[in-house]
Amino acid sequence: MSRSPAPRTISADAEPALFPTTTSAQDRPTAAPAPRGRPSAVDTGWMLGLFGTAIGAGILFLPINAGAGGLWPLLVVTVLIGPMTYLSHRALARFVCASPKQGEDITVVARDYFGEGAGRVITVLYFLAIYPIVLIYGVGITNTVDSLMVNQLGLPPVPRVLLAGVLIALMMLVMVAGQRLMLAVTRWLVYPLILALLGVTVYLVPTWQVGDLAAVPSADELTLSVWLIIPVMVFAFNHSPAISQFSLAMQREHGAHAPEAASRVLRRTTVLLVLFTMAFVWSCVLSLGTAGLQEAREANLPVLSHLANVHGNPLIGYLGPAVAIVAIVSSFFGHYLGASEGAAGIVRSMLPARVRQPQERTLRRGIAVFIFLTTWAAAVLNPSILALIESLAGPVIAVILYLMPMYAVRRIPALVPYRGQLSNVFVTVAGLVAISGILFALVR
């Protein structure tokens, strides 16, 4: 018979949340939900925090894949991505918020729902859904800075081993310096990031050209293009690493009304993401055209870095790489926290009961060294970032974000109120399409 883990108290000091928190549940009575249309400061902070988590390497590489099939597949996925993003993240938030074990993160909730054995498997999958993205950011930051130094600043190339090691070490040092400062900086970066994306979107308008992008594909070609684009869309709009801590914050802020409050925040986050991100994607695709998108893919660069290389304007030459660097760094921080938390959960859950648990500081240091060395190695090897997204991160994200919550709705008594909804069918089908699209691309 499996033994449930002992309840633990979540506090800002013991378990730092990814983004804004409020006073703990034991310090005040259960709160009523914020009035509809008037979100609390915590809700607004989380909306920006979730936006910042999603805006990273996935967004900066999204135009390269999303525009590969032309404008018609891009139009289809533009319509689909809003409901896919909102409904899947809402389901994952409900998975945590509805748990009878209030104040427990997703790994503990999963063990409570499914038992120790299945809970351990989910903890491993949770780690695998986030850790490859950390590797992707190591590759992305190295390529982006290298391109900036050589193409914009006219500096001689730095040996890749040295450049990658220094850049990843600097990002890791921010984590070691203090998570509270890092989280505050991450939130602050969201505002200029939004303005920069909007600025680039508008700046590229005069260079728009439809050309062969407007070619009408056959029904089979359209279906195939959409099928292959969806996995990258899932990755690009993913903010699941923050959903566990976000759900705990909603429990503290809204008490029994946490699921409804989480849904409101996630709905606003999705609107913000779709408006700014898809406008940016459309502008980049129309500016580069089919040939430019292929060149960007072959260069293994974020689309903004490639735009900086093909446009002679000094503004885009420096703004493009700057936005790419800020987006990668800000998203790296949030994903590092998720990967670190998942790795720590794996270590704790895999140790036999008779073995003494390692000290928290020792465990965190060991995980930091592991992540640094593996991310450095990935950056030096410079694998195709899009291939990493499609083959490593995409399938596991789809399982954790789309399929696991839907399975839980069918099996777990606490989630009975969410059964029988049409949105459950949509989320399940979207997850299966994403996974099958990845597998088909790998086989092909």
pLDDT of 387: 63
Classify 215 in phi/psi space as left (phi over 0), alpha (psi -120 to 50) or beta: beta
Per the model's pLDDT, the better-predicted residue between 25 and 108 turns out to be 108
Is 333 inside a domain boundary? yes
Tens of pLDDT, residue by residue over 28-55, are 334 444 445 466 777 888 888 788 888 8
Query: Does the pLDDT value for residue 93 go beyond 60?
Result: yes
The arithmetic mean of pLDDT across residues 234-240, rounded, is 86
Number of other residues whose CB lies within 10 A of the CB of residue 318: 14
Least confident of 3-7, 319-323, 326-330: 3-7
Query: Rounded to the nearest 5°, which phi and psi values hold at 295?
Result: -65, -40
Q: How confident is the model at residue 373 (pLDDT cuts 50, 70, 90)?
A: very high
Non-local CB neighbours of 427 within 8 Å, separated by 6+ positions: 84, 87, 88, 91, 402, 405, 406
Between CA 324 and CA 303 the distance in angstroms is: 9
For every residue of 321-370, DSSP letters joined together read HHHHHHHHHHHHHHHHHHHHHHHHHHHHHHS-TTSPPPPHHHHHHHHHHH
Confidence of residue 5 (pLDDT cuts 50, 70, 90): very low
- Rounded to whole angstroms, how far apart are CA atoms 142 and 325? 9
Confirm whether pTM is higher than 0.85: no
Distance from C-alpha of 180 to C-alpha of 138, rounded to nearest angstrom: 22
Taking the alpha carbons of 186, 188, 191, 193 in that order, is the dihedral positive or negative? negative
Domain harbouring 137, CATH code = 1.20.1740.10
State yes or no: pLDDT of 258 exceeds 60: yes
Residue 31 domain flag? no
Which residue reads 């040295």 in tokens? Answer: 162
Question: What is the number of alpha carbons within 13 Å of residue 165 lying toward its C-beta?
Answer: 6
Rounded distance between C-alpha atoms, residue 126 and residue 64, angstroms: 27
Distance CA 319, CA 326 (A): 10
On the question of pLDDT at 435 being above 50, the answer is: yes
pLDDT mean across residues, the chain: 81
> In this structure, is residue 13 part of a structural domain?
no
**Between the ranges 74-83, 291-300, 322-331, where is the mean pLDDT highest?**
74-83
Could you please report the per-residue DSSP string of 126-171? Answer: HHHHHHHHHHHHHHHHHHHHHHIIIIIS-PPPPPHHHHHHHHHHHH
- Residue 178's pLDDT is 62
Give residue 26's pLDDT. 39
Q: With beta carbons less than 8 A apart as the criterion, state whether 104 and 345 touch.
A: no
Residue 430 lies in a domain: yes
The DSSP output letter for 148 is I
- pLDDT of 185 over the 80 cut: no
The H or E element containing residue 314 is: helix 314-350
Q: Structural domain of residue 418, as residue ranges?
A: 40-443
**Angle separating helix axes 314-350 and 179-203, nearest 10 degrees:** 140
* 17 pLDDT above the threshold of 70: no
Residue-level pLDDT at 169? 93
> End-to-end CA distance of the chain, in Å?
45
Q: Flag whether 16 is in a domain.
A: no
Cα(407)–Cα(400) distance, rounded to whole angstroms?
A: 10
Domain contains 23:
no
Q: Residue 30 domain-assigned?
A: no
Tracing tokens 């993205």 back to the chain, one arrives at 133
Q: pLDDT tens across 189-231, in order?
A: 788 888 888 888 898 898 888 877 777 888 888 998 899 888 8
- Looking at the structure of the chain, the number of domains it has is 1
- Domain for residue 71, yes or no? yes
Using the CB atoms, write b or e for 19-32: b if 16+ within 10 Å: bbbbeebeeeeebe
